[in-house]
């Protein structure tokens, strides 16, 4: 690295917050000796599976409550490849496998319905390079970071393929996104981030306060850094569209089929409520649900994070906030806010607080965080005072200490593959990860199968028992504040 290069370790990103929170959470867990009754009395314990189903704006907009839901898998099944999890990672794996290995019997097994997990609940920021480009930059320098960033572009390209070639209507908008300096001193962080992008040969546009104010009518921010390569999408429509695509390609998709047990071996045995499946190869695409399934318990931290949507803004309200470019926005605070416009001109946004996942099938809602987020939106745009918040929801994500995703192989027989740990930034990265898993299963030796997140051990995050006790304290005492 030359002297003019930015120093390692200063990179700021959406994932930096999440990884930081994981480490901070470990401190909370250390406090954790808590009687069982606290778990039983937990006031934030989420409800049963579908209770909050239509509180999610994306589910609502995709009309998921009317949508066809496939029957559960039944009986004894012999398959070539079983994919567990019907989020973006599982669906992308299915898509890429079906194109490479058309003769094989590929079954995707989803516990609820495809897109029910974080994939149907996120902000819909299709950010390239994330998560992980900062890790690669610090560890291997700008050229490797550039290669990593370019590889993730394939993930966004895959979403464009679904739209262009398969007619998936997922409201994809190639808007770019802007990181906003929330404090005057944070301008230095934007300048430093731009220097890193310059080193990588990637265009990013720095805006001072006046220039930003012309585009976005908010007094809250001191400048911005625009990355033109990012996009926004309706994530539930994308997930449901991907389900249709993989079925067209011959993948058998079972919904309402939670996998209850996995017995590794040269043939892997899976047990669901109504089926026993024998698979030559299995793909784990469970992200934040993987620890509940018994995998990566001491390396992958499941947490719930939350989002809200306003009612559709009127023309006058839209005029009052500017934002004509409709780009995704997020700010530089550690508990950053992210906000974007939906196709029908709502603001969909989230901010900060996260709650340790307690193994319930739904992430539920958590009103103190939602209230704080909504107040914060009105600090950003006081001109929207009185706007109605129509939808509130949460979702479960998987976070690692180093903020990197993980793609690799498990089991003595090298026949159990995984793609997890998207650290709150999986819309694009899951698309790429699914492709990498498929390339590995197909035995292809491409540059993608050598990327930094492949076969990289997730760092240890501490014993689950201590964390679960600490999580009870965290929820009881509202330590997210
Ligand atoms: C509120 C929120 C905002 C976010 N914002 C963004 C954003 O703007 N941009 C971004 O890039 N990322 C964002 N993310 C993160 C992103 O949504 C995830 O990284 C991504 O969706 C992970 O996809 P996945 O397929 O790995 O996991 P999931 O989508 O969680 O899929 C896992 C699936 O496994 C199923 N399952 C669980 N257990 C079992 C079992 N035993 N048997 C069978 N099936 C099972 C679940 O029902 C689920 O459908 C956000 C997440 C949340 C919650």
Give the number of the atom of ligand 1 that is nearest the alpha carbon of residue 293. Answer: 41
pLDDT surpassing 70 at residue 162: yes
C-beta of residue 175 within 8 angstroms of C-beta of residue 233: no
Give the number of the atom of ligand 1 that is nearest the alpha carbon of residue 272. Answer: 42
Q: What does the block give as tokens for 12? A: 């700021």
Q: Looking at residues 186-199, what average pLDDT do you find?
A: 96
CA of 138 to the centre of ligand 1 (A): 27
C-beta of residue 355 within 8 angstroms of C-beta of residue 44: yes
pLDDT of residue 66: 80
pLDDT surpassing 60 at residue 44: no
Q: What is the pLDDT of residues 230-251, one digit of tens each?
A: 999 999 999 999 999 999 999 9
Give the number of the atom of ligand 1 that is nearest the alpha carbon of residue 109. Answer: 43
Q: For residue 64, what pLDDT band results from cuts at 50, 70 and 90?
A: confident
Q: What is the pLDDT of residues 442-466, one digit of tens each?
A: 999 999 999 999 999 999 998 877 7
Give the number of the atom of ligand 1 that is nearest the alpha carbon of residue 338. Answer: 8
Give the number of the atom of ligand 1 that is nearest the alpha carbon of residue 328. Answer: 8
What is the domain class of 14-476 according to CATH?
alpha beta
pLDDT of residue 362: 58
For ligand 1, atom 53, the nearest C-alpha belongs to 395
Backbone angles phi, psi at 211, to 5 degrees: -65, -45
Please tell me the least confidently modeled range out of 186-190, 215-219, 471-475.
471-475
Distance (Å, rounded) from C-alpha 359 to C-alpha 55?
Answer: 20
Q: For residue 363, what pLDDT band results from cuts at 50, 70 and 90?
A: low
CA of 117 to the centre of ligand 1 (A): 4
- Pocket around ligand 1 at a 6 A CB cut-off: 84-90, 109-112, 116-119, 121-125, 127, 258-259, 285-289, 293, 305-307, 350, 395, 397, 422, 424-427, 430
Q: List the one residue out of 385, 321, 310 whose CA is nearest residue 350.
A: 310
CA of 221 to the centre of ligand 1 (A): 30
Task: Encode 84-121: b = buried (16+ Cβ within 10 Å), e = exposed.
Answer: bbbbbbbbbbbbbbbeeeeebbbbbbbbbbbbbbbbbb
Q: What is the pLDDT of residues 402-437, one digit of tens each?
A: 999 999 999 889 999 999 999 999 999 999 999 999
Residues 6+ apart with CB under 8 A from 227: 127, 176, 177, 178, 179, 197, 202, 204
pLDDT surpassing 50 at residue 381: yes
Pocket test for ligand 1, best of 289, 369, 429 (most atoms within 8 A of CB): 289
Pocket test for ligand 1, best of 424, 428, 433, 436 (most atoms within 8 A of CB): 424
Give the number of the atom of ligand 1 that is nearest the alpha carbon of residue 116. Answer: 49
For ligand 1, atom 52, the nearest C-alpha belongs to 122
CA of 187 to the centre of ligand 1 (A): 32
Distance (Å, rounded) from C-alpha 453 to C-alpha 465?
Answer: 27
CA of 119 to the centre of ligand 1 (A): 4
Provide the strand spans (E) within 411-468: 416-420
Residue with tokens 């917050």: 17
Q: Looking at residues 299-326, what average pLDDT do you find?
A: 95
Q: For residue 5, what pLDDT band results from cuts at 50, 70 and 90?
A: very low
* Cα 229–chain centre separation: 18
């Amino acid at each position: 690295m030359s002297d003019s290069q930015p120093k390692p370790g200063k990179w700021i990103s959406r994932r930096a917050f999440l990884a930081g929170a994981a480490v901070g959470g470990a401190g909370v867990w250390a406090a954790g000796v808590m009687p069982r009754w606290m778990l039983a009395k937990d006031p934030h314990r989420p409800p049963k599976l579908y209770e909050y189903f239509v509180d999610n704006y994306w589910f609502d907009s995709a009309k998921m409550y009317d949508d066809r839901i496939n029957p559960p898998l039944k009986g004894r099944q012999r398959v070539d490849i079983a994919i567990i999890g019907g989020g973006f990672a599982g669906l992308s794996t299915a898509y890429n496998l079906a194109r490479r290995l058309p003769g094989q019997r590929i079954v995707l097994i989803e516990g609820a319905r495809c897109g029910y997990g974080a994939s149907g609940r996120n902000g819909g920021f299709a950010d390239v390079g994330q998560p992980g480009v900062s890790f690669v930059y610090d560890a291997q320098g700008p050229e490797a970071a550039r290669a990593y960033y370019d590889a993730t572009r394939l993930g966004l390209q895959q979403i464009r393929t679904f739209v262009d070639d398969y007619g998936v209507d997922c409201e994809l908008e190639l808007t770019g996104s802007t990181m906003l300096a929330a404090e005057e001193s944070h301008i230095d962080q934007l300048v430093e981030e731009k220097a890193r992008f310059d080193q990588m040969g990637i265009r990013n546009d720095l805006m001072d306060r006046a220039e930003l104010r012309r585009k976005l009518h908010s007094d809250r921010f001191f400048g911005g850094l625009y990355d033109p390569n990012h996009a926004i999408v309706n994530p539930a429509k994308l997930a449901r569209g991907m389900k249709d695509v993989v079925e067209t390609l011959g993948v058998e998709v079972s919904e309402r089929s939670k996998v209850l047990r996995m017995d590794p071996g040269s043939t892997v045995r899976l047990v669901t409520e109504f089926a026993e499946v024998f698979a030559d190869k299995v793909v784990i695409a469970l992200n934040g649900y993987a620890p509940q399934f018994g995998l990566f318990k001491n390396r992958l931290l499941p947490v719930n994070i939350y989002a809200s949507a306003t009612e559709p803004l009127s023309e006058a309200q839209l005029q009052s906030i500017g934002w004509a470019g409709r780009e995704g926005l997020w700010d530089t605070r550690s508990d950053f806010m992210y906000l974007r416009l939906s196709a029908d001109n709502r603001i969909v946004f989230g901010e900060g607080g996260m709650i340790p996942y307690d193994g319930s099938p739904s992430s539920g809602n958590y009103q103190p965080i939602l209230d704080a987020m909504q107040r914060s939106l009105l600090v950003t745009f006081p001109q929207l005072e009185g706007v109605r918040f129509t939808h509130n929801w949460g979702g479960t994500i998987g976070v690692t200490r180093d903020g990197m995703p993980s793609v690799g192989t498990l089991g003595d027989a090298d026949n159990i593959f995984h793609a997890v740990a998207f650290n709150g930034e999986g819309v694009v990265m899951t698309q790429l990860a699914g492709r990498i898993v498929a390339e590995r299963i197909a035995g292809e030796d491409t540059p993608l199968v050598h990327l930094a997140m492949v076969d990289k051990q997730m760092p240890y995050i501490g014993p689950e028992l201590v964390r679960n006790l600490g999580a009870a304290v965290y929820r009881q005492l509202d330590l997210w504040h």
